[in-house]
């Protein structure tokens, strides 16, 4: 290897037995082998990695830590929260099948179920999951999945997971739960009988608004099928974003403890404000807290544009869960794709504001919101 270009390309490889305290970033599209026999060993289960779309140590670390936090045996990472949801749904449902979903799920999930899965021949009935009779009435012979969220988006209804789980078992259906808002710090749906749990790791698992990622965890047989969807549809997560999400996950408990405590204080204060018509904040989620999201309806006479315009250091964003407090407008972002009737059915209006509480001092968050309400 004497030529300049060959030396530049191949360099000096580091030894393979370096012990790093933190998992390195395996920023590679492929993994190499010393022989054809060694490559063949991958297909026999003797080597762990071949091609990053099929598997990567960083993505596996994210999947495994999330599964461990949820108390589930297996997991797989995906390129986004919706990617994780799609992988979980298609792990079970096929053309001709039917899904019963909570009416008040995240707007992106609602659209996926209503439009994208319908294009695949999979039908969905949206039901008020507070009405046990309505859920049972919606189940058909071709139903295969019950789908809901542990804490719904944006009005923070706390789901009766034990009941839904029992019903799913009785009817031999697969129970899938989006646990993004609660996180396993507050709620562990797998321990309550869910078959698969999905996360937008973009939110609290990542925690710093610098990554787009999703995770599915649950029973091994379903995760094997979900992993096949991730691999063969191309829903895989990149190594660097996997690494970022893993770094964020290390402080999940610390962040949720602080953000939940702040949210309780902010919620209590908002309940006293004349320019706030309704405050939505969960109760009884966990002894550790009730989550970090507060949703409000501004009063009828309040000017929502003036409110958003006057927020100062609280940023207006279409997402949630960073360490900084932020606000979003579900009417024009997360639930934008819903028809006027669908928005009305779940209660989303121009006056709806979803507040993602950060780790700042609660008193400072309240002062900033107070200024905006005074201008509204």
- Give me the active site residues, please: 53, 106, 178, 203
From its phi and psi, is residue 218 left (phi > 0), alpha (psi between -120 and 50) or beta? left
- C-alpha of 158 from chain center: 16
How many angstroms separate the first and last alpha carbons of the chain? 71
Residues 6+ apart with CB under 8 A from 340: none
Q: How many residues does the chain have?
A: 376
Residues 6+ apart with CB under 8 A from 108: 81, 82, 334, 337
Say if residues 192 and 165 touch (Cβ distance below 8 Å).
yes
* 241: DSSP letter: H
Element (H, E) at 246: helix 239-249
Q: Which two tokens stand for residue 362?
A: 């609660």
Which letter, b or e, does each residue of 230-267 get, where b requires 16 or more Cβ atoms within 10 Å of its Cβ?
bbeeebbbbbebbbbbbbbbeebeebbbbbbbbbbbbb
From its phi and psi, is residue 233 left (phi > 0), alpha (psi between -120 and 50) or beta? alpha
Residues 6+ apart with CB under 8 A from 222: 88, 91, 92, 174, 195, 196
């Amino acid at each position: 290897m004497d030529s300049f270009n060959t030396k530049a390309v191949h360099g000096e490889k580091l030894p393979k037995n370096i012990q790093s305290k933190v998992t390195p970033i395996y920023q590679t599209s492929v993994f190499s082998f010393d022989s054809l026999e060694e490559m063949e060993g991958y297909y026999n289960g003797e080597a762990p990695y071949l091609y990053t779309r099929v598997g990567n140590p960083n993505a596996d670390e994210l999947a495994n830590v999330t599964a461990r936090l949820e108390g589930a045996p297996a997991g797989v990472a995906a390129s986004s929260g919706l990617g994780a949801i799609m992988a979980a749904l298609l792990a079970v449902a096929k053309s001709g099948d039917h899904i019963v979903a909570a009416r008040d799920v995240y707007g992106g999930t609602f659209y996926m179920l209503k439009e994208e899965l319908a294009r695949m021949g999979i039908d969905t009935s949206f039901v008020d999951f507070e009405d046990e009779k309505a859920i049972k009435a919606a189940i058909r012979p071709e139903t295969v999945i019950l789908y809901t969220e542990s804490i719904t988006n944006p009005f923070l209804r706390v789901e009766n997971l034990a009941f839904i789980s029992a019903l799913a078992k009785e009817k031999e259906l697969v129970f899938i739960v989006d646990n993004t808002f609660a996180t396993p710090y507050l709620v562990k749906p797998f321990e309550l009988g869910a078959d698969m749990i999905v996360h937008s790791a973009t939110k609290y698992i990542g925690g710093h608004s610098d990554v787009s990622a999703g995770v599915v965890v649950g029973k091994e047989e379903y995760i094997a099928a979900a992993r096949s969807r991730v691999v063969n549809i191309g829903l895989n997560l990149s190594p660097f974003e996997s690494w970022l999400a893993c770094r964020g996950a290390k402080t999940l408990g610390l962040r949720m403890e602080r953000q939940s405590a702040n949210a309780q204080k902010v919620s209590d204060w908002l309940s006293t404000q004349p320019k706030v018509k309704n405050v939505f904040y969960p109760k009884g989620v966990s002894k550790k807290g009730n989550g970090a999201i507060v949703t409000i309806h501004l009063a009828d006479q309040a000017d929502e544009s003036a409110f958003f315009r006057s927020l100062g250091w609280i940023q207006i964003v279409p997402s949630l869960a960073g360490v900084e407090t932020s606000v979003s407008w579900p009417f024009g972002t997360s639930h934008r794709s819903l028809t006027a009737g669908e928005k009305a059915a779940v209660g989303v209006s121009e006056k709806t504001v979803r507040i993602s509480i950060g780790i700042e001092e609660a008193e400072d968050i309240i002062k900033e919101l107070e200024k905006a309400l005074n201008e509204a």
